[in-house]
């Protein structure tokens, strides 16, 4: 999976490097994966990133899409009506940005160059654990492409300044 994700990154290196914003869209248990993508991309790539549930996306965030936006659709096992709705949304968004990518855990074969087919995982509760791996790989490579040294901590006074319960951490 790491090798597949690395190859996918290499194919889309420039596209990911130039991204001003990322959004991942998921449904069912994979919504947690989308939210984790949001956190990791924000921490490492340091551009606005959003992880959102399919229906929630269709109730507002779709209005911010522009030709430069990068979207990741996370395909996992689900009821046919949910899969259909996600497919219709993806097709609609492809009319507004050419930067639509799919991480599929429902197929061994990619239907196009923007799809990373990671195999057919029939368990919708296990799929989210597998789906996060490509995002972690992308974080590493995209941050490097953007010239971000994630070992160089920023905002080291944040926790103390806002009395946060979190402490400064070394991520690498």
- Domains of the chain with CATH codes: 2-161 (3.40.50.10490)
- Residue 169 has a pLDDT of 63
- Local structure of 75: helix, strand or coil: strand
Q: Give the dihedral sign, CA 170/130/47/159.
A: negative
Confidence of residue 65 (pLDDT cuts 50, 70, 90): very high
Distance CA(55)–CA(25), nearest Å, equals 9
- Is 145 in contact with 19 (CB distance < 8 Å)? no
Question: What angle, rounded to 10 degrees, do the helices at 127-145 and 31-44 form?
Answer: 20
Share of the chain above pLDDT 90, in %: 85
Q: How many CA atoms lie within 13 A of 85 on its CB side?
A: 15
- Residue 57 has a pLDDT of 97
Q: Please give the radius of gyration of the chain, using alpha carbons only, rounded to the nearest integer.
A: 16
Largest CA-CA distance found in the chain, in angstroms, rounded: 49
- Local structure of 120: helix, strand or coil: strand
Q: Which residue has the tokens 């009395």?
A: 163
- Is 65 in contact with 16 (CB distance < 8 Å)? no
Q: What is the mean pLDDT of residues 78-107?
A: 97
Q: What is the mean pLDDT of residues 28-42?
A: 96
**99 class by beta-carbon count within 10 Å (0-12 exposed, 13-18 middle, 19+ buried):** buried
- Residue 139 has a pLDDT of 96
The average confidence (pLDDT) of the chain is 93
Distance CA(136)–CA(121), nearest Å, equals 19
């Amino acid at each position: 999976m790491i090798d597949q994700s690395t190859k996918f990154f290499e194919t889309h290196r420039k596209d990911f490097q130039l991204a001003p914003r990322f959004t991942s869209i998921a449904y069912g248990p994979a919504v947690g994966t989308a939210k984790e993508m949001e956190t990791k991309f924000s921490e490492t790539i340091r551009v606005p990133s959003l992880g959102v549930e399919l229906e929630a996306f269709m109730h507002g965030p779709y209005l911010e899409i522009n030709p430069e936006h990068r979207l990741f659709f996370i395909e996992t096992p689900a009821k046919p009506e949910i899969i259909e709705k996600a497919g219709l949304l993806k097709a609609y968004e492809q009319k507004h940005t050419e930067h639509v990518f799919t991480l599929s855990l429902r197929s061994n074969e990619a239907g196009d160059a923007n799809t990373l087919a990671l195999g057919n995982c029939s368990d919708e509760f296990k799929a989210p654990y597998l789906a996060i791996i490509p995002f972690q790989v992308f974080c590493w490579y995209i941050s490097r492409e953007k010239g971000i040294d994630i070992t160089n901590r920023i905002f080291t006074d944040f926790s103390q300044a806002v009395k946060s319960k979190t402490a400064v951490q070394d991520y690498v």
